[in-house]
Amino acid sequence: MKKKGLFISFEGIDGSGKTTQVKRLGQSLRDKGYELVTVREPGGTPVAEKIRELLLDARNDGICPRTEAFLYAAARAQLVTEVINPALTEGRVVIADRYLDSTLAYQGYGRGLDTRFLEQLNRLAVAGTVPDLTIILDISPVEGMVRRSDSCPDRLEREGLQFQEAVRAGYLSLSRQYPERIKVVDAMQPPEQVYAEIVALVTPFLAQLAEAGV
Ligand code: TYD
């Protein structure tokens, strides 16, 4: 695939405020005239949405960690092929609410599956499509729980604080392993401040895109 666009992913534990920040950034970029595609994982294509239903249904409590990893990877492969790669080829900006690091953080650090194996699974699923920039919104699991206390928890959200703590530690470890790509923003700050830091991280990439004449 010949990639011309810009690919940004957002990561964080449940309740980190990712979705709100993604929406805000997306709106602002659209207002500035960028050709934008926003995606949310798992999902984003008819097949991937069906896999999402399987994964998040709280009644499916028998799904084992390996099945979980394969299902997330399968949904991702479909999304990359149908939506992300075509958009990047056309020079668009793609913003993903979760992507391959979620599998490493949740199924690897959270569930305890071998992260080297998951890296290989991810490689197979994304076939080279890795974000230019990944922003982790870092928040304590307790604060995350407070923030999503009014919604009905899905299967993963029922896992409890210890699980969320392991996932958070996983994200922070990933940011140390891939410091060029993955940046951490303290999401315990007021939303305005969080947004300002996101804009500061994204701006140089938009400038590069402009220089490339896209
Ligand atoms: P979602 O309702 O989209 O949550 P959020 O708003 O927090 O993104 O549910 C996605 C859930 O799936 C979330 O708990 C994280 C989990 N997940 C994984 O465990 N592995 C993955 O690879 C992905 C993409 C998500």
pLDDT band at 154; cut points 50, 70, 90: confident
Question: What is the pLDDT at residue 150?
Answer: 66
Q: Which of 84, 109, 123, 156 to mutate to test the pocket of ligand 1 (most atoms within 8 A of CB)?
A: 156
Ligand 1 atom 22 nearest Cα: 103
* Domain total in the chain: 1
Give the structural domain span for 34: 6-211
- Residue 206: what pLDDT? 95
Taking residues 125-154, report their average pLDDT.
Answer: 89
Distant-in-sequence contacts of 147-155, Cβ < 8 A, 24+ apart: 147/15, 147/17, 148/14, 148/15, 153/58, 154/56, 154/57, 154/58, 155/55, 155/56, 155/57, 155/58, 155/60, 155/61, 155/63
CA–CA distance, 103 with 107 (Å, rounded to integer) = 5
Residue 85 maps to a domain: yes
The answer to whether position 154 is within a domain reads yes
Residue 22 Cα to ligand 1 middle (Å)? 15
User: Residue 1 falls within a domain, yes or no?
Assistant: no
Atom of ligand 1 nearest to the CA of 157: 14
What CATH number does the domain containing 75 carry?
3.40.50.300
User: Each residue of 117-126: pLDDT tens digit?
Assistant: 999 999 999 9
